[in-house]
Amino acid sequence: MESSASGGTEIQSVPESHPSTRVYVGVAAVLAVITAVEVMVFYIEALRPVIVPALLALSAAKFTLVVGFFMHLKFDSKLFRALFAGPLIVAIAVLLAMLALYGVFTR
């Protein structure tokens, strides 16, 4: 991490440790496979009892891959991570609270 002073402000360059093209293509391939698995899970009757946790887990995996690799959050500053994760956690907490309040889990 290189740094320089400018007008009393400490300037630091963001780490340029972005993944290679091969990693990007690999991540895209995994995303495509997970999407295909999601659709398969939807159509397989035997998986009906576990469809909700299975699809949520697969969706969360895709979410994490895009945010971590394509948005570079895995490699970028912790402050960016906090700026994203903070509101996301609040949004998920409010969502769960509202669904519980409206009895969505007990339908």
Partner 1 sequence: MSQSDAASAEMYTSTGLPSRKLLMWTFIGSECMLFGSLLITYLVYRGKSVVGPYPEELLNIPFISVTTFVLLMSSLMMVLALAAVQRGDMKWGKVWLLATALFGSIFLAGQVFEFSHFVHEGLTLRRNLFGGSFFLLTGTHGAHVTVGVVWLLSLFFMALRGRLTRANAETVEIAGLYWHFVDVVWIVLFTVIYLLV
* Closest distance of CB 46 from partner 1, Å: 16
**CA 72, CA 76: separation in Å to the nearest integer?**
6
Q: Point out which residues bind partner 1 (CB under 8 A).
A: 3, 6-7, 9-12, 14, 16, 18, 21, 24-25, 27-28, 31-32, 35, 38-39, 41-43, 51-52, 55-56, 58-59, 62-63, 66-67, 69-71, 77, 79-80, 83-84, 86-88, 90-92, 94-95, 98-99, 102, 104, 107
Nearest to 27 by CA among 87, 77, 82, 71: 71
Tell me the helix, strand and coil percentages in the chain, rounded to 5: 70, 5, 20
Rank residues 21 and 45 by Cβ distance to partner 1 and give the closer one. 21
* Closest distance of CB 47 from partner 1, Å: 11
Cβ count near 10 (within 10 Å): 8
